[in-house]
Structure 1
Amino acid sequence: MTQTPPPHGTPEHPRVAVRGDARLETDPETARITITVTARGKDRRHTLDDLTRRNHHVLELARSYGQAVEKLETGAFSLTPELTQPGRNEKIRAYHGSVRITAVLNDFTALGEFTTRIADLEMTRVNGPWWGLRPDSPAHAEARRLAVHSAVQRAREYAGALDAHLVALVELADLGAENTAPPAPLAPGAPRGRAAFGGAPAEPAPALDLEPQRQTVYAQVNARFIMSPPKL
């Protein structure tokens, strides 16, 4: 009858503990941009009307790209009065309105054109893109698989250095695999294209040529094995 090795180390069945690491580079799957629509005026209602019109234009333009824009979300809205010098006779000088929209695209061919067309709109600012992978991207699973292989290979090398071999796996602890895409919105060097406030030009601007930024995925695991008695 074969005796099962104990889960802890013993002189007859020593335990070897290793860490497996993996680093995988892959193409991005999504590109995220933030769009800030603004309006300014002395009349509150007119400012709100301008903001509503511009916001509607942005949303309709984004929806015209169909499945290329896989997510469209409004993040924040504000309408703030700008006051004159503080005091008893202070008055409202103007109203400032803004709406922030986030768009996630999965078609990088359409991305350059979409970004340029948004930037052409009046009183609209565009930031991004920020490239990324989806949480369920196969790249994460592949990185974890490579990390496990790294751990097994490392343990075999340790055992082989003692003229021993691995007998059993007693523990495999996942330390996580995470995408190192730069966090939004202020990661240095992350945005590959940016357009500032401005009015619409007479002719459509050419589409931006945006080169996707390669993504790096890391994975680490801790593994513990039982090995045969070493030859010391």
Structure 2
Amino acid sequence: MNTPQTPHHPHLTVRGEAHIETDPDLAHIQITLTARGTNPHTTLNDLTQRNTTAINLIRSYGPALHNLHTTNLTLTPQLTRHGRNEHIHTHHATTHLTATLNDFTALNELITRLTDIDLTRIDGPWWTLHPTSPTHTQARQQALTNAIQRARDYAHALGTELHTLIELDDTTPDHTPYPGPTQRLAFATESTEATPPPLDLQPQRQTITAHITARFTLHPPTL
């Protein structure tokens, strides 16, 4: 009977992981501005004015504003049936802005002030860490440390030691972008009432996850 051949140095593959909970440093909100009218040009002009007002207000927060961009614009005729025919009854125009802030006190005030703009909807906030946050580096380092410790545990259970690191694989994404709009935070309509005091929003703590696959060779154990 032939004896199965084994590699001179057995291979060991382990997966290291880390989970760190921390406070966010960015907040994202989506602002939807709306205008309605019987004339498409007048409707678009109304939307343009509201869009300009919102952008100027958001940009006035200076260093507290991390990013601002327009994500979508629509101008849709609303049809109504008149006898056997359909006629354009009104035009409905919307534009969507996404603002990212790094100052949460400014965020609370901005959301409240945005409600002064007619027909304005606000979605969010969604909390995230900045992509360059040192917490991401810390999580990756902890994942690698975890992988090495796991490999040593297996080697110790076999009565041997690690020999050589063959490969590190960090191709699995660890970060999921913030989700799209799911709930409406506020909806502003025409009002002569004074602006209410700023909201007191509580940032949601973030869990940062890192994974890494490590491959080693072992000194041949005696089994």
The amino acid that maps onto 2:79 is L
Residue 86 of structure 2: SS of its match in structure 1? coil
- Equivalent residue for 2:122, pick from 113, 119, 126: 126
Q: 1:207 aligns with which of 190, 198, 201?
A: 198
Query: Paired residue for 1:219?
Result: 210
Equivalent residue runs for 1:110-125 within 5 Å = 110-125=106-121
The farther-off stretch of 146-155 and 173-182 is 173-182
Q: Give runs of aligned pairs for residues 15-26 of structure 1, distance below 5 A.
A: 15-26=11-22
| Structure 1 residue ranges (4+ consecutive) displaced by more than 3 angstroms after TM superposition | 86-90
Deviates further, 32-41 or 91-100: 91-100
CA-atom RMSD in angstroms: 2.0
- Going from structure 1 to structure 2, the CA distance change for 1:182 and 1:101 (only over 3 Å counts) comes to closer
Percent of residue pairs identical: 48
| TM-score normalised over the length of structure 2 | 0.89
Corresponding residue SS for 1:179: coil
**SS of corresponding position for 1:230:** coil
Q: Any conservation in 2 of the 1:133–1:179 contact (CA below 8 Å)?
A: no
Aligned positions of 1:172-211 closer than 5 A: 172-180=168-176, 182-186=178-182, 194-211=185-202
State the number of aligned residues. 218
| TM-score, scaled to structure 1 | 0.86
Distance 1:85 1:17, change over 3 A: same
Q: Which moved more, 1:81-90 or 1:222-231?
A: 81-90
Q: Equivalent residue for 2:67? A: 71
Tell me the residue number matched to 1:6: none
Which among 36, 40, 46 is matched to residue 40 of structure 1? 36
Give the match for residue 221 of structure 2. Answer: 230
Deviates more, 1:12-21 or 1:149-158: 12-21
After superposition, what is the alpha-carbon deviation per residue over 1:174-214, rounded to whole angstroms, capped at 9, x for unaligned?
1434234652123xxxx6x7102422442111111111111
- Aligned match of 1:5: none
1:68 Cα deviation (Å)? 0.8
Question: Is the counterpart of residue 149 in structure 1 residue 142 in structure 2?
Answer: no
Q: Residue 174 of structure 2 contacts residue 211 of structure 2 at CA under 8 Å; is this kept in 1?
A: no
Letter in 2 for 1:195: A
